[in-house]
Amino acid sequence: MGKTGTSRGPWEPRTKAEKLSGAIWVENGQFFVRNPVVRSAQEHGRFAVLIKHKEIPLWVDGKLVEHPEIVVEGSKIDYALPSIMPEITMQVIVSDDAMEAYLQIDVVNGVEYILPDQGPAQVMDVTVEKILTEPEGWPTVAEVQAAATQAGVRVPLWMLRVNAALEEGKPGRWLIAKGKPAVDGQDERLKFFGQRGFSPLDAPPGGAPAETTEGVPTAQDDGSPRKDVVDFRDRGVIPSVGPGQVVAIKIRRSEGQVGYDVRGNVLEARQGKRLEIKAGFGIRELNDGYRYVATLWGRPVWQPIAKVLVIQPHYEHKGDVDMQSGNVVFHGDVTVYGNVAQGFVVQADGMVLIHGSVFGGLVKAGSHITVRGHSLGALVEAGGESARCNHLILLLVPIRDIVRDCIDAIKLLEKNNAFSVKDLQQSGIGPLLKMLVEVKYKELPHLVYRIDEYLYRELSTDTVHTLVETIRHSLLGLGPLRFRRLEELEHFHEAIQQVMASLAAMVTEVAHITLNETQSSRIEATGTITVHGKGVIQSELLAGRDIVIQGTCRGGRIIARGSIHAAEVGAEAEVPTEVTIGTEGALQADHLWPNVTLHMERFRLKNMVHRQHILFVNDPERGPVIR
């Protein structure tokens, strides 16, 4: 503690300005004060001021200096110089969960304060000097071990960490021991497997399967330079499985593993629980009790409350099929409680029921389709590729028959004595075949054009494309001249027969379509097409069996391998309409209007008058006739 008396000290003011200002200074650890010297009433002096110090306390006449304090001669100024002893503290700290132990080393350097001499000033901000000293005696390994024991640590310390911390010689915090957490056993759970968009997913006990990629837009790879184009209509296939496919396996539960904390306490583990699963509709549980196999097509569904795994063969879509929902593609039956918007797809391996209308969309099904609303600018296809096979067969039948007729005609000429067989052997059958095609079968180019037109719009097999290309180059133009021997033409006829047989074999499902009415649409079915309501306007209908139109068929093209029944075909305004039936079928209509073209194999008739209650049929004796 230092202080001043009333002595003025050795310093004396020399100038008038110094005399008018009070002064305070420090010498040998003591404060000295001199008051201002005022000689007349006209002179004004300033007393000395002492400023508060932020590190050492100052007192003036026993009062702690909190603010600038005026001092005068005789003021008692005291101060205190604190000192801090150097110190090293070491402790072992255990975490709140007792799973970790840390070595904590803190270092406090020693500090000694000195009050140096300071010259006189009217306002003094005291200056002090510091002398720092570093502590000695760094902790040892034995001291760390003792501290750990005192903290209750019972597991072995990580001595490499301890030695590294002590050798570093710096304050800090190091993890030096750790417990082993208990590992709970895994409960039995279902792991689902799928195909074509059905990603693996887990169903926790009592819970439903996690979400899949269904509903996520998919990137398109259409061969264009940009591969990052995303079709927001395509959200992937709705998860489904097929017969014989493993739908899910039950992952066995695992045993829990006990643990311990750093204090040596044992931590118990929870054992995995069993999951009781019932094999419901469409599911068979194998003998091992851990694998579940589908017995039919459909969507796997886990019912968490009843703990039953079932297959739902039917998918219901609430609302419209539009940008909000994306396309609906499912390997089973589909019901849509709404409309199908422009450019969107509803596709199912089973049946499809649309409660609304189809506006420029695509509806495809492996089985029957029912559209209770309208079909406007849409493509509706029941039976898959089989529907197109029926059309191709109808188009190939007259061409096959023409080739057969040519073979029979050439054989008949060979038996005619008036015919020069020697000339036929020299030139081949080509010129004769060319003459038959140009004179007797003038409709052949039109038949080839019709099948060409269909293949241009449809995706068919390479075999059919190759056959049609062969027909074009063999029977049109100079093509017949390529045939030299009758056997070559017979092989050509057999090739047509084989393609037609393969197409017929592809028609494995008889699928019907029922519509309210259709306009500017394409309707294809392997079975029967039935149109209620006003009828068909400027549409193309293709049926593997019959077509039934309760209203009017106005414009477009209707084709059936069986029969066609319609209230009206064509229109009073002579709208161009084409009708094609098989030889075993018939066209029955209450009204047949002008400008309607009728096709039956090679027969082609353009109706130019209004007829009522007609029957267009293949008479066994007269051929195709209108009755």
- Distance between CA atoms of 520 and 503, rounded to whole angstroms? 27
Predicted confidence (pLDDT) at residue 7 exceeds the cutoff of 70: no
Task: Specify the DSSP class assigned to residue 240.
Answer: B
Task: Inform me whether the pLDDT recorded for 6 exceeds 70.
Answer: no
Q: pTM of the entire structure?
A: 0.56
State the Cα torsion 587-592-596-602 to the nearest 10°.
30
At 296, list the tokens: 């039919």
Higher pLDDT among residues 180 and 135, named by residue: 180
pLDDT at 145: 95
**Confidence band for 380, pLDDT divided at 50, 70 and 90:** very high
- Alpha-helix runs per DSSP H in 476-553: 486-506
* Phi, psi angle pair for 110, to nearest 5°: -75, 150
Q: Could you give the CA distance from residue 614 to residue 563 in angstroms, rounded to a whole number?
A: 13
- 615-621 contacts: CB < 8 A, separation 24 or more? 615/586, 615/587, 615/588, 616/579, 616/581, 616/586, 616/587, 616/588, 617/586, 617/587, 618/583, 618/584, 618/586
Q: With cut-offs at 50, 70 and 90, classify the pLDDT of residue 10.
A: low
In terms of C-beta density within 10 A (0-12 exposed, 13-18 middle, 19 or more buried), how is residue 214 classed?
middle
User: Any residues with CB less than 8 A from the CB of 365 and at least 6 apart, and which?
Assistant: 334, 347, 348, 349, 350, 351, 352, 381, 382, 383, 511
DSSP at 150: H
Bridge partners of 532, per DSSP, are: none
- Measured CA to CA, the distance from residue 292 to residue 285 in angstroms comes to 5
Q: Which helix (H) or strand (E) holds 550?
A: strand 547-560
Q: State CA 597 to chain mean position distance.
A: 50
For position 469, what pLDDT does the model report? 80
User: How confident is the model at residue 216, as a pLDDT?
Assistant: 41
**DSSP 8-state code for residue 215:** T
Burial class (CB in 10 A: 0-12, 13-18, 19+), 313: buried
Q: What is the pLDDT of residue 435?
A: 85
Position 62 scores a pLDDT of 92
- pLDDT beyond 50 at 232: no
User: Given the DSSP bridges, would you call strands 535-543 and 522-525 parallel, antiparallel or unpaired?
Assistant: parallel
Residue 80 has what pLDDT?
93
The answer on pLDDT for 507 being more than 80 is no
Per-residue pLDDT, averaged over 360-381, amounts to: 93
At residue 3, the pLDDT reads 47
Question: Looking at residue 477, what is its pLDDT?
Answer: 80
**pLDDT tens profile 151-164:** 999 999 999 999 99
Mean pLDDT value of segment 551-560: 93
Mean pLDDT calculated for residue range 136-160: 94
Encoding tokens for residue 523? 């309707």
> pLDDT tier at 498 (50, 70, 90 boundaries)?
confident
pLDDT at 110 over 60: yes
User: What local confidence, expressed as pLDDT, does residue 457 receive?
Assistant: 56
Distance CA 18, CA 501 (A): 130
Percent with pLDDT over 90 in the chain: 47
Side chain identity at 92, as an amino acid letter?
Answer: V
Give the number of residues written for the chain.
627
